[in-house]
Amino acid sequence: MTAFFSEADVVKTIAEDPSSDIVRKRTAFKDLRDRWVARSGGLFTEANDHWLKRAPAVAKRDAGRAINEIRTKLTVYLDELEKHVSFSALSGREAFDITLPSIRRPIGAEHPVIKALNEIVAVFKAMGYSVSEGPEIETDYYNFEALNFPPNHPARDTQDTLFIAGQQSKPPRDRLLLRTHTSPVQIRTMEKLAPPIRVVIPGKVHRNDAPDASHSPMFHQVEGLAVDTNITFCDLKGTLDHAMKALFGSSVRTRFQPSFFPFTEPSAEVAISCIFCDGKGCRTCKQSGWIELLGCDMVDPNVFEFVRANGYDPAKVSGFAFGMGADRIALLKYGVDDIQLFFQGDVRFLEQFA
Ligand code: DAH
């Protein structure tokens, strides 16, 4: 009878094989169990049908007992083995239910605005600029005063500011607000680094603007500042013309028009020829052929006065500055028609940029 199965063999096949994973073990276990005890085709059924039933009457009792003994022993073994191959016997990482749907781990993608910020920064890095950053909660001093916006100056009204509540007991210049532009980091950078400097400053800014397709109370800018001896308006023009071509393609033209910012003198507004109609006039450029993209110009000597002690004598150094809206650039570059889409977190929209 023992020729029918070997205990050692059974145990080795399943429980003691450390390399067999749970699925293989379970399959092997079920095969083994069926081979022995399956109602049809199992070795016990066969032994009954072909051997026990046909045994001579005198041998039937002993043979029956022997078979039953083996069966009892085998059942104990099978029960024991089943524990080894059950999922609940597993612990830690091994314990999983193979019938569950697999875990999908979608690969994250750069947000389109961050992508645009990085592209803009890369264009200036290639021209030797370094990157600077500053706080989003700023003081009135850095956001306005040191940029030549005196208290109560009407230019402050162009940047509808979100102030932090409960600041009345502080002197006006120390009152906190959400920065309305990245320009305060010009001052912070000049306080830290003596000239010559060339920096770009990417970051988030806030204004009390009602959200619509082209406005968001939170948006992004990239500021630039270059200070050295003999920096001229030509340097500014060449730099920005190159940057716009690098960002939008070499056929893009730039247009500089006089404007006003308290911290630059003179000041200019830069537009690029419409990238959709090549300047002929279309809906996007409101038939003008131009798209306004940034403010810029030569740093006002009054601004240098605030950092004169760090080597910024307005009689010796000159510089240019510029500030551009990164969200607007992302809208144009990626052909999106509503800025709100950038901030609603809808994965169906965002995954298009993956
Ligand atoms: N800070 C200005 C704004 O947010 C943009 C700007 C204009 C930045 C001229 C500059 C500049 O650095 O020179 O409206």
If one counts every other C-beta atom within 10 angstroms of the C-beta of residue 338, the result is 14
pLDDT for 94 equals: 56
- Residue 62 Cα to ligand 1 midpoint, Å, equals 104
Kind and range of the H or E run holding 347: helix 347-350
| DSSP assignment string, 105-124 | -PPP---HHHHHHHHHHHHH
Overall size of the chain counted in residues: 354
- Residue 221 Cα to ligand 1 midpoint, Å, equals 9
If one counts every other C-beta atom within 10 angstroms of the C-beta of residue 171, the result is 10
Residue 47: both structure tokens together: 């032994």
Q: Exposed (0-12), middle (13-18) or buried (19+): which is 36, by Cβ within 10 Å?
A: buried
Q: Distance (Å, rounded) from C-alpha 204 to C-alpha 96?
A: 44
pLDDT for 270 equals: 98
Q: Distance (Å, rounded) from C-alpha 143 to C-alpha 21?
A: 64
- Across 247-257, b (16+ Cβ under 10 Å) vs e yields bbeeebebebe
- Partners of 240 in the β-ladder: none
Q: What is the 8-class DSSP label of residue 335?
A: T
pLDDT for 9 equals: 58
Q: Distance (Å, rounded) from C-alpha 27 to C-alpha 32?
A: 9
pLDDT for 2 equals: 39
Q: Which 3-state string (H, E, C) describes 200-215?
A: EEEEEEECCCCCECCE
If one counts every other C-beta atom within 10 angstroms of the C-beta of residue 259, the result is 15
pLDDT for 89 equals: 62
Per-residue pLDDT of the chain (354 residues; tens, 9 = 90+): 334 445 555 555 555 554 457 677 788 888 889 999 898 888 888 888 888 888 888 888 888 888 888 889 988 988 888 887 776 666 555 556 678 888 888 788 899 999 999 999 999 999 999 999 999 999 999 999 999 999 989 899 889 999 999 999 999 999 999 999 999 999 999 999 999 999 999 999 999 999 999 999 999 999 999 999 999 999 999 999 999 999 999 999 999 999 999 999 999 999 999 999 999 999 999 999 999 999 999 999 999 999 999 999 999 999 999 999 999 999 999 999 999 999 999 999 999 988
- Partners of 106 in the β-ladder: none
pLDDT for 66 equals: 86
Q: Distance (Å, rounded) from C-alpha 175 to C-alpha 167?
A: 6
Encode pLDDT of 285-344 as tens digits: 999 999 999 999 999 999 999 999 999 999 999 999 999 999 999 999 999 999 999 999
Backbone φ, ψ for residue 200 (5° rounding): -115, 145
pLDDT for 87 equals: 66
pLDDT for 3 equals: 43
Residue 259: both structure tokens together: 């404007």
Q: Which 3-state string (H, E, C) describes 15-70?
A: CCCCCCCHHHHHHHHHHHHHHHHCCCCCHHHHHHHHHHCCCCHHHHHHHHHHHHHH
**Contact by Cβ (8 Å): 148, 263:** yes
Q: Which residues contact 175 (CB under 8 A, 6 or more apart)?
A: 139, 140, 163, 164, 167
* Distance in angstroms between the alpha carbons of the first and the last residue of the chain: 67
Residue having the nearest C-alpha atom to atom 5 of ligand 1: 323
> Residues 278, 237, 225, CA angle at the centre, nearest 5°?
120
- pTM above 0.75? no
Ligand 1, pocket-test mutation among 144, 157, 160, 181, most atoms within 8 A of CB: 181
**Does ligand 1 lie within 6 Å of residue 207's CB atom?**
no
- Residue 112 Cα to ligand 1 midpoint, Å, equals 22
**Contact by Cβ (8 Å): 327, 219:** yes
Ligand 1, pocket-test mutation among 147, 204, 223, 270, most atoms within 8 A of CB: 223
